[in-house]
Structure formats: C-alpha cells, structure tokens
C-alpha cells in the first residue's frame, strides 16, 4: 500500500548578468509535505507553518549573492 502526502511547493528564479555581459538564470523549487513525520516541537506542522518556512527559505535564497 502506498501512502501519498500532500506536497507544498514554492518556485523561485533569479536572473543576473555577469561582468562579461552574459545573462544567467537559476531556478529552484522549495518543497515540504504535510505528513505526521514533518514535526516541529513534537507535533506535526500545519499548512501555514510549512508555507511560512518555505516563503522564508525562498526569500533568503533570492537575497543571496549570485555566483
């Protein structure tokens, strides 16, 4: 028997131009599932908690210096 858990995803793309004038882009998907094993402080995370974590992780990644 296969059990499928609902996945919550956030996608982000950052674009930049290097000093030589070449354009680049990098895309990343941030995701977590709603399941009994995804816990915080001993209790399962709610959808709102997961969304807040993903949004914060996405925002931090977009703010990072590009290579």
pTM value is: 0.86
Instruction: Give the pLDDT score at 66.
Output: 81
Task: Summarize the confidence of residues 59-63 as an average pLDDT.
Answer: 96
Domain ranges across the chain: 6-63
Rounded to 5 degrees, φ, ψ at 2 are -105, 130
pLDDT in tens, 42-56: 999 999 999 999 999
Convert the pLDDT of each residue in 11-30 to its tens digit: 999 999 999 999 999 999 99
């Amino acid at each position: 028997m296969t059990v499928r858990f609902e996945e919550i995803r956030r996608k982000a793309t950052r674009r930049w131009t290097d000093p030589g004038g070449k354009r680049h882009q990098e895309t990343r998907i941030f995701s977590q599932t709603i399941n009994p094993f995804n816990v915080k402080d001993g209790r399962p995370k709610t959808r709102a908690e997961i969304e807040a974590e993903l949004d914060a992780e996405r925002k931090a990644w977009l703010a990072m210096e590009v290579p």
